[in-house]
């Protein structure tokens, strides 16, 4: 059995409708990837996916867990903290169709991840997984002490031969400033074996001139496999000393680009775990991302999710 764990935050999501009512859902970058990985696992019975986070003991947290289990995502590494709640964000869409996000997350249960007695034990379990996946958002919501403990756990996992995948997913609002984000993320690059950044994020954070500069910077930090996502332009893959430009799966006008990068990461990692070469894995990621942008919302209907069997066998 190949075991994968995604580490991060999932929040409750309120979306304001035209009639001024709200719909309640949930969302989170690493959770999106975990769900799409679990769907890919339907073609790989030897692949399991767990999510590592902290939630409250409230009814909304229970509903989230039930939804994840229904998707095939394991919840054995989800800490339940008494008296705490998940984070919350609200989405409002203006007359031009632009979305604005408002967050309530300072007291979210995930802020205690790897810090409380209930969650510290999760660190020891990380080395049991074949692949560990996290993002810049994961790092942003953790305390500095928890980040250091997580870094040590990832170092121990690498020493055991585990693979570590990272998506910078830079969100300026989560950091005091860009310099703080750069410093924290840089500390995790030496333990990263697969980097999956988005060029627009890297340009905003580092001022990179082009995707090749992004790939070279990650490689210079010791990351052996780098995939720079470029949206409609596809991606740039740098691995084993070779560089490939892989086009997007389909040229189309997107309905909603939410979670396209998260889905790409899932397709790519699923294919790599099946020992597909990096270029072919990038095509798997592109196929999944191409389907996601054709639907509204982060998680598209299960029957609209393309089979990745051709990339996994």
Residues annotated as catalytic (active site), given as ranges? 262
With the C-alpha atoms ordered 252, 299, 228, 249, is the resulting torsion angle positive or negative? negative
Contacts of 288 by beta carbon, 8 Å cutoff, 6+ apart: 36, 40, 263, 264, 266, 267, 305, 306, 308
Rama region for 143: left / alpha / beta (φ>0; ψ in -120 to 50; rest): beta
The token pair at 232 is 């409609």
Nearest to 254 by CA among 295, 292, 298, 293: 293
The token pair at 208 is 């990179």
Dist CA 24 CA 12 (whole Å): 7
Contacts of 41 by beta carbon, 8 Å cutoff, 6+ apart: 47, 48, 49, 72, 270
With the C-alpha atoms ordered 113, 225, 168, 101, is the resulting torsion angle positive or negative? negative
Dist CA 222 CA 132 (whole Å): 17
Dist CA 208 CA 244 (whole Å): 19
φ, ψ of residue 246 to 5 degrees: the values are: -110, 125
């Amino acid at each position: 059995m190949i075991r994968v764990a995604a580490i991060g935050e999932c929040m409750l999501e309120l979306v304001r409708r035209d009639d001024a009512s709200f719909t309640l859902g949930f969302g989170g970058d690493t959770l999106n990837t975990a769900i799409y990985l679990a769907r890919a696992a339907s073609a790989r019975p030897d692949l399991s996916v767990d999510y590592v986070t902290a939630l409250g003991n409230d009814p909304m947290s229970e509903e989230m867990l039930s939804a994840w289990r229904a998707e095939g995502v394991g919840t054995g590494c989800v800490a339940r903290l008494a008296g705490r709640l998940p984070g919350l964000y609200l989405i409002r869409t203006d007359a031009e169709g632009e979305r604005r996000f408002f967050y309530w997350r300072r007291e979210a249960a995930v802020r205690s991840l790897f810090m409380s007695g209930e969650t510290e034990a999760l660190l020891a379990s990380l080395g049991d997984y074949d692949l560990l996946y996290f993002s810049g958002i994961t790092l942003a919501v953790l305390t500095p002490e928890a980040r250091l403990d997580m870094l040590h756990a990832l170092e121990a996992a690498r020493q055991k031969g585990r693979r570590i995948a990272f998506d910078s997913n830079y969100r300026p609002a989560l950091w005091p400033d860009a310099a703080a984000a750069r410093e924290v993320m840089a500390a995790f690059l030496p333990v990263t074996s697969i980097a999956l950044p988005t060029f627009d994020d890297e340009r905003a954070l580092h001022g990179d001139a082009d995707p090749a500069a992004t790939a070279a910077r990650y490689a210079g930090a010791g990351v052996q496999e780098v995939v720079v996502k470029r949206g409609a332009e596809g991606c740039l893959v740098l691995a084993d000393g070779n560089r490939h430009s892989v086009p997007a799966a389909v040229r189309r006008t997107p309905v909603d680009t939410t979670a396209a990068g998260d889905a790409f990461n899932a397709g790519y990692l699923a294919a790599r775990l099946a020992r597909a070469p990096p270029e072919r894995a990038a095509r798997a990621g592109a196929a999944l991302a191409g389907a996601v942008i054709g639907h509204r919302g982060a998680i598209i209907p299960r029957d609209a999710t393309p089979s990745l069997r051709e990339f996994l066998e």
